Amino acid sequence: MLLLSTFYFPLYTLFLSVTSHPYSKLPPMFDNKDSRTELSSLGEFGLIDHIAKGVEIKHAASLKGIGDDAAVIDSEGLLTLVSTDMLVEGVHFDLSYCPIKHLGYKAVVANVSDIYAMNGLAKHITVSIALSNRFSVEAIQEFYEGVHLACDHYEVDLIGGDTSSSHAGLIISITAIGVAKKEDIVYRNTAKENDLICVTGDLGAAFAGLKILDREKKIHEENSDIQPDFAGYEYVIERQLKPEARWDMLERMKEAKLKPTSMIDISDGLASEVLHICKDSEVGCVIYEEKVPVDAATCHAAEDLGLSPTVCALSGGEDYELLFTVSLGDFDKVKALKGVSIIGHITEKSAGMYFTTTGGSAIPLETQGWDAFLEKGE
């Protein structure tokens, strides 16, 4: 709908072959709608009504959602968790390959993931958008369809927001509100010496997916006759365009009676998040390259791109997996937990923060410049 519709259809048809619920519910992203409704025909209040119509309230605690000065939540004596994120077109997303519906989904995921990273339950979100008249009403509707899909999947209520015009592209600001019992909350500054460092799922795929999309976009820009070729890249592209937050892993940990000693979600790359935990907890760490979980599809894509898969995991980001620490005494519990990798351990602060390569070199952990380091290290 926005640009270059010929470019996107093949991308979507490929998705069809790799999707499962709720991904399979995402319709073709650039179907050839006959009509385009101008935003100006609705006005701001019309637009808000339009958005409010699609909202379904799931929690009795959402006493008041959209439609007053503020939303009202009955938090029943639990602690309230609040997290907020801003996404800017051209900085955080590129609509030439990120379908706007997926963007709506992903924006919610990024926010509920922060609540999960506190070991809390996300219950409410507010969604504010500023957009230029380049966007039609249908495009906004698709964005909110993605938001609603994520709300359904993660069982959160959309309780408010703001709409505004912008001179340059789309800006999204989401605030997620969650609850937790005081004794359940896990902070990022409470890792202790000898704790095991663990991570859910696999890392680096979202970054590899982004780089594949980038590459195909450039090829298409240079020669619009060449259609993008995503065969073999389905997994990394799905991880980039439609990530999931790991609520399921919190459930599994609860079942296993395993409470992390510290936790953070991986939005900026493994290296950056490990550094957050260590610096805030005033401890050191060792991470082992060979233990960092990277999917075979990510290795394949990284290889095609001339990137190190480990660098994708360390510096890539947008994985939305959970990085956490557990007491050494919980080794058996965490070992038995499906979908969790133990990637290192916490040391005393004076021992520093290190990454040990497969070749055996110990490299100080940094947030950037991994390509150079790894070449040097191996």
Residues that bind a second copy in the complex, under the rule CB under 8 A: 63-64, 67-92, 113-115, 117-118, 120, 124, 126, 128-130, 159-169, 171, 173, 175-178, 180, 182, 185, 187-189, 264-265, 280
Distance CA 145, CA 149 (A): 6
The CA-based angle 115-24-269, given to 5 degrees, is 40
Burial class (CB in 10 A: 0-12, 13-18, 19+), 156: buried
Q: In the complex, what is the shortest distance from the CB of residue 259 to a second copy, in angstroms, rounded to a whole number?
A: 16
Please identify, using beta-carbon distances, which residue of 44 and 229 lies nearer to a second copy.
Answer: 44
Please identify, using beta-carbon distances, which residue of 147 and 299 lies nearer to a second copy.
Answer: 147
Q: In the complex, what is the shortest distance from the CB of residue 337 to a second copy, in angstroms, rounded to a whole number?
A: 21
CB atoms within 10 A of CB 5: 12
Q: In the complex, what is the shortest distance from the CB of residue 243 to a second copy, in angstroms, rounded to a whole number?
A: 16
Q: In the complex, what is the shortest distance from the CB of residue 142 to a second copy, in angstroms, rounded to a whole number?
A: 20
Q: In the complex, what is the shortest distance from the CB of residue 133 to a second copy, in angstroms, rounded to a whole number?
A: 12
Q: DSSP 3-state assignment of 18?
A: coil
Q: In the complex, what is the shortest distance from the CB of residue 238 to a second copy, in angstroms, rounded to a whole number?
A: 24
Please identify, using beta-carbon distances, which residue of 92 and 333 lies nearer to a second copy.
Answer: 92
User: What string of DSSP letters covers 132-190?
Assistant: -TTS-HHHHHHHHHHHHHHHHHHT-EEEEEEEEE-SSS-EEEEEEEEEE-GGG---SS-
List b or e across 261-294, with b for residues whose CB sees 16 or more CB atoms inside 10 angstroms: bbbbbbbbbbbbbbbbbbeebebbbbbbbeebbb
Alpha-carbon torsion, ordered 286, 290, 295, 297, to 10 deg: 130
Please identify, using beta-carbon distances, which residue of 11 and 66 lies nearer to a second copy.
Answer: 66
Please identify, using beta-carbon distances, which residue of 178 and 344 lies nearer to a second copy.
Answer: 178
Distance CA 119, CA 109 (A): 15
Please identify, using beta-carbon distances, which residue of 48 and 256 lies nearer to a second copy.
Answer: 48
